[in-house]
Each structure stands twice: as structure tokens, then as C-alpha cells.
Structure 1
Amino acid sequence: MARDSLGRALYNPALLERGACGRDAVIRAPLLARLIDDLERDRGVGSPQHHLLIGPRGSGKTFVLRALGHTLEDDPGLADDWIPLTFPEAQYDVAWPSDLWTNCLDYLAIGLARRGRPAEAEEIRAALAELPHDDEVTRAEEAYRLLLDESEALGRRFVLLIDNLDVVIDRLKADQWRLRDLLSTEHRLVIIGASARAIEETYRYDAAFYDFFRIHELRQLRADAVADLLPRLGPPGAAEAVAALTAARPGVLPALAALLGGQPRTLSLLADGLVAGYRAPAPLVSAVLDPLTPAFQARVDRLAPQAQRVAHALATAWHPARASDIATRTRLPINSVSAQLTRLTKDGIVEQGQHLPSPRLGYYLGDRLFALWFLMRCGQPHRRRLMDVATTLERVYEPLDEAAGASHPLFDAAERLRLGRHGEAMATTLTALSLLSARPARDAWAGLTALMRAAVDLGWTARLRELMAEAWPDGRWVLVDRALEIAALGSTDPLTRTAPELRDAVRRIVGAITKDPQQR
């Protein structure tokens, strides 16, 4: 679906009205200001500076490009120098260099017609119709020259706002060096593009576009800023809902920001859930992930059958997995798994990293929101895992209520352990752990934290981890287990085996059970 129930475009910002696009782009205002400043300082002398915005889907790339285009049209000073040529998100019609230049001319004609200059628009369309069709070299040269002639006639330079620039660069693979040569010296053309993934041709030393673009990474918004940003991204009533939730349950919003990522699209859906009346982490997670089903399901459907099996295995593993682990889960030959992982990594679907202490790499789905959606769609047990962790994260990110924990059996187990009554501590711990909910209340979390502190102080972490594995064979408390492992080892290696969105929570738990303030 293109719009949500409030009439906002979730997947296609081009459907938004001009004012709405500007409001959403204000979330990326510092980046927008840097781009505008660069264009204002560009006097057409020397090599032009081209830009590339890199960020996951939903991070606001398209909003920034749209807002930049509107600013170039509306600001008198900028409009005297620049004309934006705004490309649509889909670039499926680009196969040859001439396609890039004729598309520029098409968008120029559309813009002129919209500004009340239909005669000039028709002249451009007529000139396009006269270009040769059978000779690509001549067609590309004449289209390029026609574009520069239009720049001279209008007395303006052109900013090419190209969404999904990676698609264009990939499709023009045979002509990349020629394209670089043209754009490196032509000050009348500036490209400001966007991509959901790093483009290999921009970082490989021997590639055509190495050190060509100024890279801008759209990182997720800071968790501590989420409460301030939600009212600006949400529907009416969002400010009141955020204030009420923050007062009653201060751990929910930072927990969900860590789990789901602080991207504008995610926060907009989260604000919708708050206004709808949801307050607990589990229903709010569903409120964010469920509306994304059409886009994410289409992504899965585009994968080949073996690739779908590998992606499914990565999603249900949740944490980074080695190729051998995926082969076991899928029952595919290890060579087939390795080939699929290589392809999925090249396509930007899978990322890889260390998997210490193993010398092998760990693989995981790169778009973590997509990974969580996939996990949720893999059946009730996996959905429950996700919701249990979301609830636990609320406890991790809220102030620890140590007074409430003093009456919990786990706190009693900690006291027995400190008194050296290990047998009693073990019995009390195992009984209390077996009764502990996967979605702990405040007193239970405070009691568990006290027990973990005692285990760390007294070198009892290995035994506590054994008791936890005995009480919770389903591995529901992996965050706690990772924190205890880190505390015992004095090393953060276990974080490499932890899902990226959960690493900050593990660090916080380590900080709460050790004397290391850097982990807090």
C-alpha cells in the first residue's frame, strides 16, 4: 500500500503534498542544510562536488531529496543558479548512457511545464524525438549536448536528484569510466544521489567512482531524542500519548528505539501505535511491523527458493550465524549455502562480521527491521521470542527499582550466595528461575540483577549460567547469558554473536552487574 490510514505515504514520498514532505524532511534538517550550503558555495569553478546519501529503507533519503528539490525551486537565491531534476525512485528504464541524459531532459520538460513555460517544454520534447534511435553512441552524445545547451539557454545549472543511484550505476557498468570523466569536469551538472546500500564502485580502489562522491550516512536517530521526535512524525494526539507513556513507563520508548531502530518511518509507525492506545512493548512492536508487510513480503518473494531458505534460517537464528550453522538449519550443502550467502551479501541483503571466538564469519540480515519482521512471520514460537525480548528490554532501559527487588526470591538467593551458603543459593535460584516469566516484572528484574551481581563478584557466573540453561531450555534469556559471559571473560567478544539491535542492551546489563561504568 502506498499510504497509511492517515493518508501519509509510507513507501512513496512522491505522493506527499509539498508541505508534508518538508515537515518530514526536517528530521534530517542538518543534512539538508549541509547540502544546501554546498550548492550555495558552488560558483561553478573547478570540479563539481557530487554527493551520495546512504541509509536503510525508511531512513529519510527520499524525503531529503524531495525537500532539497523544493528548496531549490522556492528559494530565490538558489533558483537563480540551479534547477532540480528529480528522478523517480524506480530507474528501471535506464540501460544505456543515453537513457540517463534523455531522462534528465524529460524531467526538465516536466518541470518547465509545471512552472508555466509549456512552449519551452514542447521544444525539448521535439528535440528528444529527433534523437537517433539505432546509434547509441551518437544518441548519448547528442542528448548530453542537448542537456548542456538547455543549461546555457536557461542560465541555470542542473542538480540531478537520483534516488536508487546504485541501480543506475550498476546498469551503466560498461560506461562508468566515461560517465565519471564527463561529470568530473562539467560544472553545470551536479549529482546528489541516494542508495539503501554502500555502492561497491565508490569504495573499491580500482573502481570508476572511487573517491568521487561525498558520502553522507543517514544513521538512526538517537534513542534519547525519540520522545521529542515522535510528536513531529506522528498524527494529532502523539505528543499527549508520548508524554503519558514516558511518565508511566519510562523504559518503553528507549527500548523500542533500540530494538526497531530510530529511523523516521519506524518512528512514524510507532507514533501511530501510541495514538491508537497501545502502551506495552509487544503490541507496539506489532504496530510498527505489521504495516510493513507488503513491502517486506515483496522483498522475500523476489528471492530465489534457495535464497529464501537461507534468509529464513538467518531470520530465525536472529543472532549472527556461521555458514555451517545455516547449512544445518536448512539441510542444504555447505557449498550451496556459501554461494547463496555470497550472492545475498553482494545484493546488500546480508551482512557479515566476526563471530568470535570462531575464525569463521557470522552472517545476518542487514536490514534489521526486515529481520525482525521476518522473525515475527516465522510462526508463533518465534513471534513469542520477539515479544518476550521486547518486554525484557523495557526493564533494561528503565531505572532499576532495587527496593522492589528486595522482596523477590532471586534477591534472597543473592544474599545466600554472598553468605557462602551455596547449596541453599542453588536450590532457591533454580526454583525462582523456573517460576520467572519470560516477560519479567520490575521486582523480578531487580532480583535477577542482584543475583547476577553476586555471581560476578563471587566468580559464580558459570554455575549461574548452567542453572539458567536448566531452568530456561528455550534460551529465552540470551541477553542475560551474553552479559554474564562478557562479565566472566572480561571481553566483549560475545557481542559479535549477538544481534546488532540487542548489543546496547547487553552492554547495559553488563554495566548494571559489574563495576565498569563504561558499559552503563
Structure 2
Amino acid sequence: MKPCPPLYDIASLPAPEVEELFYFHAPLLADLLEDLERETARSRAQHHLLIGGEGAGKSTLLARLRGALLDTYARRGNKRNKHKAKGGHPLFPIYLSPTALTLGRLSQLWLRVGGALPIDFHPPGGTEQEENEEQLLRELPARILEACSEAGLRPVLLLEDFDLFLGRVARQERSLRALLLQPGAPILVASASRAGSQDYQAAFFDHFKTHYLPAPNVQQARGLLLHFAEVLERPRLAKSPGLSEGRCAALQVFTGGNPRSLTRLWKLYAQGRPTRIEEDLAYLLDEETPVHGALLDSLSEQARVVLVSMAAHWSPIALGTLAKACSLPKGSVSSQLDRLRKAGLVHLRSLPGTRRKGYEIAHRRLALWLLAQDSTTDGRTRLFALARFLESFLPAQQSWADPGGTPMLRGALPRELGRLATLLSEKNWGQAAEELPPLLTQLPDLPGRSLGAWLALFRAGLAAGFGGELLDLVENSREAAALFPWVEALRARLHQNPSLLLALPHELRPSAQWLYEALEQPKEES
């Protein structure tokens, strides 16, 4: 068996291993290579900017691009030949890690570029003196371009965290832009955060081709885990509960298919111990404790109270409601919210059904982490119960959709649910209310074939005027936490007000909206 892939420093792996692990963004890799192939020795470079969230696969894509370019360079160029290579100017990749980009001066970047070239490069003297920066910026790039031209190669700079680097050399941005616009200048392929502070529409980026890294869908996310099972020689894990369609679909709701989160999951599954979905989600959130814990430590006590109270609410919250939850004056909470908004941790959002604005934690994974940390509220219970619900509901939902994607709301009802639906249709609430509670314990883990039966039963109750009674029964059942989406869908259907669902948490809203639509009476039954 091969070791698990690294979470962060994938560029340290040999190129063949990176190629073996590479799974997402293959079409984008092909597009980048095609664009780079069009560059000539003296062309004005088409630079590229890869934008994606944390853990979206930017580093893996750059590492894989480096390997592909090195393969091409080895075929077309000759590292020992210091004269022009046959077949034109081959592209030579130079990878610069985030550690290397803790540089404070632009000249330090060019020194590292010169040192990474596969040729003899002699920088001018005085390179460590900051007062020589202006002279170095005139001499260094010119020497690099001249040396590359003589050697018959053109460097491709692969830069991670480009937004952070630009922030460090902001005063020298004009010099960097001037060099990148020169004919024959190094070609830049850089990655940056989607949530970075840079304005990617600014003039500096006019000559950049921007690529947004898409989040993988459920099939692609599960495909990565199955790919790991194959290439890392653990075929038995392909049939483990963690790689089931329901588990992958449910965890996708909480992680968005983030490749780094999927790699973390793989490390858990590779231990060979069967897990429940609640354990998987708790593990993923616990792995983020160093980052989120350090963030909380950097905030004031009141700011921490505000964030924790917002997370416990689990949906957009009005200022007055938040102040009561924090047991703080509205003025104090308002000033903390202003600071948190400026820090990018909180944003405003319309409160459904009103003209007022509410507040919400901007980063969902931070909100979920805070929710999971607090065992004194029912938020943690609801979070893990929702994960359990989604693991069974999402495959059932998929199985009840025809090839065109239209939910099929009719089907053979199980005998018990069919009899209860008949009782409700006959307006016999008393007997139905006695027999329904034991069956509700089966609803959170429903198999696909019973989804339609439950929908038909609830539709019969709504049509008979027992919507309020059904809502009370489900909401106060022992399984209420795991039936959260059913509760909210029934509430919205009872009031004929789908806008109530807009206030639900992101992770809950899609399933509740689907159930709301599914509870509508078919025309032939209404």
C-alpha cells in the first residue's frame, strides 16, 4: 500500500506521484498547456490567474503543470546545452512556494528565478542591500531575459498565493507589471484566493486570463475517493460505508466537495475503521481547529461571544435578537459586528419576509466548526442529526426522480403507511395519531422505496386539514432533530409560504425546499 497524499505540500512529491494523484481540473490543465504552447520566443505573454477557495486544488494543479512542462522541456530542450535548443524556445517551469513568497522586495523574487534556471546565472553584486533595490530591478530582469534567450528557453513562473505576494510588494507593482508586459518576459501562472483582497478587475490584471476553479459535484468528489482507493492500492475501501453514494452526497453538503477535505476523509478511511457519518463530520471539523482556534484567539472576548451566538442561531439573525442571545447591549454588539464585517468574517443578508437586514457568518466552515464546538446548545445535535438524515434522504430523493429529473410522487405504499393515509383521508385523526409516532422512528433512515409513501401520507394529512397536528407530532417526536427538514417543509406547506424556507441554514434549505415541493397535492388528488 502507498502512503496517503499530503494535505498541503503536494509540490514536494516527485512529478510521477503528482500525476498519479491528480484527478480534478484535467480540462483546465489541458487548456493551460494549449495556451502555453502558443507562446513564441518573443511573444508578449498571456499570463494566467487561477482563482479558487482554500483547498480547491490550486497547488495540485500548479504541481501537475510543472511536471507536464518539465516532461516537454526534457523532450525538446537539452539541459546541458547552453545554446539555443532545437525546436525553438522550450518552456521551463519555476515553482515558487508560499514560503519563498514571504519576500518583501521584488528583487528577491528575480534572484530566486535566476537561481532556479537550468543555466549558469550570475546576479550583480549588492543583492542583499535594500538601498540597491532600484538598480537591481533594472539589472536583474534584464540579465535573466538575456541569459534565457542565449540558452534557448523561456521561464514559466508558477506562483502560489499571488494575492498575498502582491500585497507585500504593492509599492513595486508598477515595476512588476512593466516587466511582465515586455516581449519575451517570463510567463506567469499564478494562484490566488477567491476571497482575497485583490481587485481582479484592476488594470494590473488586464493581461491575465482568469480561470475560476469549479467545485466538484458529488460524482466527482466520490470519484476522487475511488481514485485514491485504486492508485494507493486499497481496493477494499472502495466498498466501505464512507465511499457510499449517500455518505459522499451528504458530506458534500457540508464541505462543498473541497478536495482538501476529501483528502482528509481519505486519511480517516485509510485507517480501516468503519465510521458513522457523524464521526466523519466531527473529524473534518476538528481538523480545522488549529486555523479557527487561532482566529478566535485573535479576537476580543465580546467579538468571540458575538460569533459563537451567531453560529448557534445557524441562520441570519437580526441585531436585536443577537444582542439578546449575547446578553450584551445593542450598541456593543453593533460595534463588534462592524469590526467583524471589516475583517470579512460577517456579512449582511436580507431577513426573509422583511425589509430588514440580518447578520451571518461569512465562512460556512467557520460557522459549522463553531456549532460543533458548543455542546451546550441543540445546534450541535441538529448538525449531526442533519448529516444522518441527508445520508439516507439524498439517495432516496435521487431514486424517486425519473430520467428527466421530475420527482415521481406516486408509488406502492407500505401497508402501515397506506392504512394511515387512508385513516387521514377519512378524517380519523385519533387513531392515526396513536399509530404514527412509532413509525416516525423509521423516517430518518428511510430507504428509497419508502420516500414516496411518506410523502403520500403527509399529503393526505394536509389535504384532510390535519397539517397543524402532523407538524406538532413530528416536531415533538423523539426523532425531531433528525426530522428537521421535514418539520420546516411541513411548516411552510401548512402556511402556504415557501419564503419561510429562505431563512434556513444553507445545509438544510435544499432538502427542505425539495420536500416542500414534493408535498404539493398532485392535480388528480387536489
TM-score, structure 2 length as denominator?
0.78
Out of 184, 198, 202, the position equivalent to 2:199 is 202
Matches within 5 A, 1:177-216: 177=174, 179-185=176-182, 187-203=184-200, 207-209=202-204, 211-216=206-211
Q: Is the 8 A contact 1:128 1:143 kept in 2?
A: no
Q: Is the 8 A contact 1:345 1:351 kept in 2?
A: yes
Out of 100, 104, 107, the position equivalent to 2:106 is 100
Partners of 1:457 and 1:185 in 2: how far apart? Answer: 73
Partners of 1:305 and 1:218 in 2: how far apart? Answer: 37
Query: Does 2:266 match 1:257?
Result: no
Partners of 1:197 and 1:414 in 2: how far apart? Answer: 50
What's the offset of the Cα at 1:390? 0.9
Unaligned runs of 5+ in 2: 78-88, 400-409
What's the offset of the Cα at 1:38? 1.3
Q: Is the 8 A contact 1:352 1:362 kept in 2?
A: yes
Quote the residue 2:59 is aligned against: 62
SS at match of 2:507: helix
Out of 318, 321, 345, the position equivalent to 2:314 is 318
Query: Does 2:385 match 1:388?
Result: yes
Partners of 1:231 and 1:187 in 2: how far apart? Answer: 43
Q: Is the 8 A contact 1:104 1:160 kept in 2?
A: no
Out of 92, 106, 114, the position equivalent to 1:83 is 92
What's the offset of the Cα at 1:175? 4.5
Partners of 1:185 and 1:459 in 2: how far apart? Answer: 75
SS at match of 2:157: strand
What's the offset of the Cα at 1:143? 3.8
Partners of 2:37 and 2:212 in 1: how far apart? Answer: 21
More helix by share: 1
Percent of matched pairs sharing the same residue: 26
Pair 1:28–1:490, CA change in 2 (3 A):
farther
Matches within 5 A, 1:112-511: 112=117, 117=119, 120-121=120-121, 123-124=122-123, 127=124, 129-130=126-127, 132-134=129-131, 136-177=133-174, 179-185=176-182, 187-203=184-200, 207-209=202-204, 211-234=206-229, 236=232, 238-245=234-241, 250-275=245-270, 276-334=272-330, 337-338=333-334, 340-341=336-337, 343-345=339-341, 347-350=343-346, 353-379=349-375, 381-399=378-396, 406=414, 413-422=420-429, 424-425=431-432, 431=437, 436=441, 439-440=444-445, 442=447, 448-455=454-461, 457=463, 461=467, 464-471=470-477, 477-485=483-491, 487=493, 493-511=499-517
What's the offset of the Cα at 1:93? 3.0
Pair 1:151–1:379, CA change in 2 (3 A):
farther
Structure having the higher Rg: 2
SS at match of 2:282: helix
Q: Is the 8 A contact 2:351 2:503 kept in 1?
A: yes
SS at match of 2:158: strand
Partners of 1:446 and 1:129 in 2: how far apart? Answer: 77
What's the offset of the Cα at 1:509? 2.8
Task: Deviation per CA, 1:106-162: give whole Å up to 9, x if none.
Answer: 1441x34xx5x5xx25x23xx264465225444444444444344434433332222
Task: Deviation per CA, 1:321-379: give whole Å up to 9, x if none.
Answer: 44444433334454554555455455554455443223344544444344333322222
Q: Is the 8 A contact 1:220 1:261 kept in 2?
A: yes
Partners of 2:412 and 2:3 in 1: how far apart? Answer: 42
Q: Is the 8 A contact 2:156 2:188 kept in 1?
A: yes
Task: Deviation per CA, 1:153-184: give whole Å up to 9, x if none.
Answer: 44333322221122122334444455445434
Pair 1:186–1:223, CA change in 2 (3 A):
same
AA of the residue aligned to 1:219 = P
Task: Deviation per CA, 1:499-520: give whole Å up to 9, x if none.
Answer: 333343334434543479xxxx
Partners of 1:515 and 1:217 in 2: how far apart? Answer: 42
Q: Is the 8 A contact 2:337 2:346 kept in 1?
A: yes
Quote the residue 1:24 is aligned against: 21
- Deviation larger for 265-274 or 76-85: 76-85
Q: Is the 8 A contact 2:222 2:245 kept in 1?
A: no
TM-score, structure 1 length as denominator?
0.79
AA of the residue aligned to 2:191 = A
Quote the residue 1:12 is aligned against: 9
Pair 1:232–1:7, CA change in 2 (3 A):
closer
Pair 1:154–1:359, CA change in 2 (3 A):
farther
Task: Deviation per CA, 1:162-208: give whole Å up to 9, x if none.
Answer: 2112212233444445544543455513322222324454356xx44
Quote the residue 2:81 is aligned against: none
AA of the residue aligned to 2:25 = R
AA of the residue aligned to 2:284 = V
Q: Is the 8 A contact 2:7 2:264 kept in 1?
A: no
Partners of 1:422 and 1:240 in 2: how far apart? Answer: 50
Query: Does 2:26 match 1:37?
Result: no
Unaligned runs of 5+ in 1: none
